[in-house]
């Protein structure tokens, strides 16, 4: 059922079993998982079914750290969330992403990859990724044109990425949600506060407002914050009427350890002989990116990351994401990026006559950023139209991040040279090992992670292994805000798997 | 009587298209052959050819210059050639089988890559052998000018 919260009577109270705050991919996937159950689920969405610039204004914020995109434009706040403009690139986390790595401070998840693995197939289905095939061998067999650049290499491997249509959750799952008898979707419902019992260990109600000035209350047995990494932290920090630091923030961890994928053009790969490198080129199904094997990551003391390749001529015609994505308005940014991508495309006929087209490739780094306590989301003094403080971001990287990108380029250069295939050139900002600065073109992948990270120790984490906020038995966080480390893979697929795991846990808890 | 030839220019047009197609084939076919073959590729003249292709003449010149500056003992052709031939059965750099020389130097560089003995110079991930090849290129070029 769909209810426009603007039509509710002021000060109305809604009672439900489960209240999910945020109708993006995480919130929708959990709601879908409860369809047909006897429990009543309320799904709160801050806007309606379409982009609303006034609502989007609530997500403005200052960037005080490394240069970053305007915060208002990095997420979409309407039914379907940021899947409304995502690119659809998906990959799974690697086993090393989950492990405790002695060379990376605060690494390690409190769960095994197997525990997440169980939910990947369902997540895979939600984003319409076709056959559940992630091994390079499958794709080499299926696509005769696909050939590996470094077959049987001791240090490098080809990580498969798959491409979603991309699934727009708002369109794809609207009907299922709206028609589900036990799901109530409330649009134009903005969370402004969470109230707990006197002991502070149980959330009793959520205060919800809209731009029309109406307030109402949701009472639920379980509350799930599923509003994205910045907003999950913002809501916990802003729920500070009873606990001055906000909920779950006794150890000043909420909002900290914010992570983004470091995405930057970083080098060139030049081949001795022409090779179309079809396995690595952008296509509609699956492609590979070059990654470093775990043992070598350990030996080099580096983070995980992948290198994607594209024709150098095409890459040279594209501006850095940080330049194209400069407006507060996400619609303008997406249009700018689409136009630039289209203009950069190579003519199918003339490319055959270009001497370097199949010789020279651009190397694009897509790396995890190591957990960094100083990289954080915090509350601004300014508030939105409903009186909730805005969220600001201080994005910070670590020395190991830069070192890792540099070392991976060296390693690829070494393997390319050893195979007699060609040479690698790194960009200026990577040349000097003592320079920790970043190039102007360094940006993120629009992937917000961390801020309510999972862990067993409340001093370094916000939620436990079941995504339950430490010390509050019925408050959960869903999505990539729970990631303790980001891995190199885009987060959507894994955040869906983790959300489905959370949903399953709550089913167990409620004996469903 | 019906007009049997409603388009009086069609024959000429057909002829024109035919000639155009033949012309395109006459020019395009050899261009394609040359593009996809090595017919226009000159014979290799030395171990530096491959690096000139990959890094470009200007970059290789700069890398070579830097190598000679940082390694004064190798700031002359004889020393560079001797270093490049170290470990080889080739007695004389200037008077040997070119292909044999190229194979040796390339194998030497590949072995250094495999041992991860590399450096980043002018942005390029190169081996010492690569840098010496660049130095050779630089010194040869300097001598000629």
pLDDT at A352 over 80: no
Instruction: Please indicate whether, in this complex, the C-beta atoms of A417 and B109 are within 8 angstroms of each other.
Output: yes
In this prediction, residue B2 carries a pLDDT of: 45
* CB-based contact, B113 to chain A, within 8 Å: yes
Please say whether the beta carbons of A258 and A376 come within 8 A: yes
* CB-based contact, A241 to chain B, within 8 Å: no
Strand partners, A404: none
Candidate from A230-234, A419-423, B35-39, B75-79 with smallest mean pLDDT = B35-39
Instruction: Please indicate whether, in this complex, the C-beta atoms of A414 and B114 are within 8 angstroms of each other.
Output: yes
Strand partners, A14: A218
Q: What is the band of A457 on the pLDDT scale with cuts at 50, 70, 90?
A: very high
**Tokens matching residue A132:** 């559940």
All residues of chain A having their beta carbon less than 8 Å from the beta carbon of residue B113 are: 413-418
**Which residues fall within 8 angstroms of residue A350, CB to CB, at 6 or more apart?**
none
Measured CA to CA in angstroms, residue A58 lies from A190, A227, A394, A450 at distances of: 10, 13, 18, 21
Place of tokens 């049997």: B4
Q: Which of residues 253-272 of A touch B (CB under 8 A)?
A: 267, 270, 272
In this prediction, residue B10 carries a pLDDT of: 65
A393 part of a folded domain: no
Q: What is the mean pLDDT of residues A344-357?
A: 80
pLDDT tens-digit readout, A159-206 = 999 999 999 999 999 999 999 999 999 999 999 999 999 999 999 999
In this prediction, residue A348 carries a pLDDT of: 77
Q: Considering chain A, what percentage of its residues have pLDDT values greater than 70?
A: 100
Instruction: Please indicate whether, in this complex, the C-beta atoms of B51 and A423 are within 8 angstroms of each other.
Output: yes
Tell me, rounded to whole angstroms, the distance of Cα A473 from its chain centroid: 26
d(CA A415, CA A427): 18
- Find which of B36, B44, B54 to mutate to test the A interface (most A CBs within 10 Å of its CB): B54
Please say whether the beta carbons of A255 and A237 come within 8 A: yes
A250 part of a folded domain: yes
pLDDT at A2 over 90: yes
All residues of chain A having their beta carbon less than 8 Å from the beta carbon of residue B62 are: none
The full length of chain A comes to 512
Instruction: Note whether A299 and A377 are same-domain residues.
Output: no
Nearest CA in chain A to B118: A414
Please say whether the beta carbons of A359 and A274 come within 8 A: yes
pLDDT at A448 over 90: yes
d(CA B60, CA A243): 64
pLDDT tens-digit readout, B89-131 = 998 999 899 999 999 999 999 999 999 999 999 999 999 999 9
**Tokens matching residue A200:** 């502070």
**Cα-Cα-Cα-Cα dihedral sign, residues A291, A255, A127, A116:** positive
All residues of chain B having their beta carbon less than 8 Å from the beta carbon of residue A299 are: none
Q: Considering chain A, what percentage of its residues have pLDDT values greater than 90?
A: 93
Of A267, A352, A417, Cβ closest to residue B113? A417
A156-163 and A286-292 strand pairing: antiparallel
Instruction: Note whether A316 and A343 are same-domain residues.
Output: yes
Single out the residue of A359, A386, A393, A428 nearest to residue A193, CA to CA.
A386
In this prediction, residue B1 carries a pLDDT of: 42
Single out the residue of B127, B114, B120 nearest to residue B51, CA to CA.
B127
pLDDT at B32 over 70: no
Q: What is the mean pLDDT of residues A254-261?
A: 98
**Which residues fall within 8 angstroms of residue A243, CB to CB, at 6 or more apart?**
A196, A200, A249, A250
Measured CA to CA in angstroms, residue A390 lies from A12, A18, A61, A381, A382 at distances of: 26, 26, 6, 7, 6
A378 part of a folded domain: yes
All residues of chain B having their beta carbon less than 8 Å from the beta carbon of residue A415 are: 113
Instruction: Note whether A241 and A294 are same-domain residues.
Output: no
Instruction: Note whether A109 and A141 are same-domain residues.
Output: no
d(CA A163, CA A33): 23
Output b/e per residue, A299-325; b: 16+ Cβ within 10 A: ebebbbbbbbbbbbbbbeebeebbebb
All residues of chain B having their beta carbon less than 8 Å from the beta carbon of residue A409 are: 125
Q: Supply the DSSP string of B88-114, one letter for each residue.
A: -S---TTSS-HHHHHHHHHHHHHHHHH
d(CA A180, CA A305): 41
In this prediction, residue A137 carries a pLDDT of: 97
pLDDT tens-digit readout, A393-409 = 999 999 999 999 999 99
Q: What is the mean pLDDT of residues A475-490?
A: 98
A254 part of a folded domain: yes
Q: What is the rounded (10 degree) CA torsion for A499, A503, A506, A512?
A: -170
In this prediction, residue B16 carries a pLDDT of: 85
ipTM reported for the complex surpasses 0.90: yes
- Find which of B113, B117, B128, B133 to mutate to test the A interface (most A CBs within 10 Å of its CB): B113
Of A267, A272, A352, Cβ closest to residue B54? A272
* CB-based contact, B125 to chain A, within 8 Å: yes
CATH (domain of A54): 3.50.50.60
* CB-based contact, B129 to chain A, within 8 Å: no
d(CA A48, CA A232): 19
Instruction: Note whether A379 and A429 are same-domain residues.
Output: no
* CB-based contact, B4 to chain A, within 8 Å: no
Instruction: Note whether A90 and A181 are same-domain residues.
Output: yes
Between B88 and B42, name the one with better pLDDT: B88
Total number of domains constituting chain A:
2
Instruction: Note whether A419 and A351 are same-domain residues.
Output: yes
pTM of the model: 0.92
In chain A, the N- to C-terminal Cα span, in Å, equals: 21
Nearest CA in chain A to B121: A431
d(CA A343, CA A336): 11
d(CA A80, CA A173): 8
Instruction: Note whether A209 and A172 are same-domain residues.
Output: yes
d(CA A87, CA A491): 12
In chain B, the N- to C-terminal Cα span, in Å, equals: 82
Q: What is the band of A443 on the pLDDT scale with cuts at 50, 70, 90?
A: very high
Smallest CA–CA separation between B72 and chain A, in Å? 23
pLDDT tens-digit readout, A118-160 = 999 999 999 999 999 999 999 999 999 999 999 999 999 999 9
Between A339 and A356, name the one with better pLDDT: A339
Measured CA to CA in angstroms, residue A31 lies from A116, A506, B11, B55, B57 at distances of: 19, 12, 70, 55, 61
In this prediction, residue A414 carries a pLDDT of: 98
A375 part of a folded domain: yes
Instruction: Note whether A45 and A136 are same-domain residues.
Output: no
A442 part of a folded domain: no
Please say whether the beta carbons of B85 and B94 come within 8 A: no
Neighbour count for residue A168 (Cβ, 10 Å): 17
All residues of chain B having their beta carbon less than 8 Å from the beta carbon of residue A419 are: 110
In this prediction, residue B43 carries a pLDDT of: 63
Q: What is the band of B9 on the pLDDT scale with cuts at 50, 70, 90?
A: low
pLDDT at A480 over 90: yes
Q: Which of residues 17-76 of B touch A (CB under 8 A)?
A: 31, 35, 50-51, 53-55
All residues of chain A having their beta carbon less than 8 Å from the beta carbon of residue B116 are: 410-411, 414
Mean pLDDT of chain A: 96
CB pairs under 8 A between A and B: 65
Instruction: Note whether A347 and A485 are same-domain residues.
Output: no
Nearest CA in chain A to B28: A353
Tell me, rounded to whole angstroms, the distance of Cα A12 from its chain centroid: 35
Strand partners, A89: A163
d(CA A37, CA B75): 81
All residues of chain B having their beta carbon less than 8 Å from the beta carbon of residue A410 are: 116, 118, 120, 125
Instruction: Please indicate whether, in this complex, the C-beta atoms of A418 and B124 are within 8 angstroms of each other.
Output: no
Q: What is the mean pLDDT of residues A268-281?
A: 97
Of B53, B54, B113, Cβ closest to residue A418? B113
Domain that holds residue A341: 131-163+262-367+398-437
Q: What is the band of B8 on the pLDDT scale with cuts at 50, 70, 90?
A: low
A355 part of a folded domain: yes
Beta-strand runs (E) in A226-293: 262-271, 286-292
**Tokens matching residue A385:** 């139209």
Measured CA to CA in angstroms, residue A292 lies from A156, A357, B64 at distances of: 5, 26, 31
Smallest CA–CA separation between A342 and chain B, in Å? 27
In this prediction, residue B26 carries a pLDDT of: 84
Instruction: Note whether A363 and A381 are same-domain residues.
Output: no
A221 part of a folded domain: yes
The full length of chain B comes to 145
Instruction: Note whether A219 and A113 are same-domain residues.
Output: yes
Please say whether the beta carbons of A401 and A367 come within 8 A: yes
d(CA A120, CA A435): 39
Beta-strand runs (E) in B8-71: none
**How much of chain B is helix, strand and coil, in % rounded to 5?**
65, 5, 30
Smallest CA–CA separation between B110 and chain A, in Å? 4
């Amino acid at each position: 059922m769909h209810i426009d919260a603007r039509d509710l009577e002021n000060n109305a109270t809604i009672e439900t079993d489960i209240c999910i705050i945020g109708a993006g991919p995480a919130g929708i996937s959990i709601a879908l998982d409860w369809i047909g159950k006897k429990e009543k689920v309320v799904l709160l969405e801050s806007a309606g079914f379409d982009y609303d610039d006034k609502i989007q204004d609530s997500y403005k914020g200052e960037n005080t750290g490394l240069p970053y995109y305007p915060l208002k434009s990095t997420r979409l706040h309407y039914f379907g969330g940021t899947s409304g403009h995502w690119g659809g690139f998906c990959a799974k986390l690697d086993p090393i992403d989950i492990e405790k790595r002695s060379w990376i401070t605060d690494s390690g998840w409190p769960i095994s990859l197997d525990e997440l693995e169980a939910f990947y197939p369902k997540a895979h289905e939600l984003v319409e990724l076709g056959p559940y095939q992630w091994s390079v061998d499958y794709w080499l067999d299926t696509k005769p044109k696909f050939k590996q650049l470094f077959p049987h290499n001791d240090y490098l491997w080809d990580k498969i990425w798959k491409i979603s249509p991309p699934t727009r959750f708002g369109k794809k799952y609207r009907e299922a949600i709206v028609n589900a008898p036990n799901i109530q979707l409330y649009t134009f419902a903005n969370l402004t506060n969470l109230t707990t019992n006197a002991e502070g260990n149980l959330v009793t109600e959520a205060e919800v407002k809209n731009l029309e000035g109406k307030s109402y209350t949701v009472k639920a047995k379980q509350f799930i914050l599923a509003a994205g990494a910045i907003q999950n932290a913002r809501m916990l920090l802003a729920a500070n009427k009873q606990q001055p630091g906000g909920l779950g923030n006794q150890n000043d961890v909420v909002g900290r350890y914010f992570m983004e994928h470091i995405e930057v053009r970083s080098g060139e790969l030049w081949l001795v002989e022409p090779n179309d490198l079809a396995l690595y080129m952008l296509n509609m199904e699956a492609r590979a990116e070059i990654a470093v094997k775990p043992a070598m990551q350990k030996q080099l003391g580096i983070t995980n990351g992948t290198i994607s390749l594209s024709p150098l001529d095409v890459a040279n015609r594209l501006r850095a994401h940080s330049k194209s994505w400069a407006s507060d308005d996400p619609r303008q940014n997406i249009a700018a990026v689409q136009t630039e991508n289209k203009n950069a495309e190579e003519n199918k006929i003339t490319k055959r006559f270009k001497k370097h087209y199949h010789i020279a490739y651009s190397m694009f780094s897509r790396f995890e950023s190591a957990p960094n306590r100083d990289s954080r989301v915090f509350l601004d003094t300014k508030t939105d139209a409903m009186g909730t403080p805005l969220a600001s971001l201080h994005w910070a990287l670590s020395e190991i991040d830069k070192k890792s990108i540099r070392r991976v380029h060296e390693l690829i250069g070494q393997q390319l040279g050893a195979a007699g295939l060609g040479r690698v050139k790194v960009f200026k900002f990577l040349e000097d090992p003592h320079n920790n600065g970043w190039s102007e073109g360094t940006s993120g992948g629009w992937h917000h992670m961390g801020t309510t990270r999972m862990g067993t120790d409340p001093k370094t984490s916000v939620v436990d292994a079941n995504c339950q906020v430490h010390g509050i038995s019925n408050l959960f966080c869903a999505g990539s805000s729970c990631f303790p480390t980001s891995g190199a893979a885009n987060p959507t697929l894994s955040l869906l798997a983790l959300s489905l795991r959370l949903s399953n846990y709550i089913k167990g808890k409620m004996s469903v | 009587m019906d007009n049997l030839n409603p388009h009086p220019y069609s024959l000429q047009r057909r002829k024109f298209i035919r000639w155009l197609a033949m012309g395109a084939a006459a020019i395009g076919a050899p261009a394609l052959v040359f593009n996809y073959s090595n017919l226009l590729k000159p014979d290799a003249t030395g171990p530096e050819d491959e690096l000139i292709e990959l890094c470009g003449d200007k970059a290789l010149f700069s890398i070579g210059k830097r190598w000679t500056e940082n390694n004064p003992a190798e700031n002359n052709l004889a020393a560079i050639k001797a270093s490049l031939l170290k470990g080889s059965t080739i007695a004389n750099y200037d008077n040997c089988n070119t292909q044999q020389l190229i194979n040796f130097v390339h194998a030497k560089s590949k072995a250094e890559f495999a041992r991860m003995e590399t450096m980043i110079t002018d942005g390029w991930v190169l081996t010492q052998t690569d840098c010496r090849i660049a130095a050779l290129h630089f010194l040869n070029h300097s001598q000629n000018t």
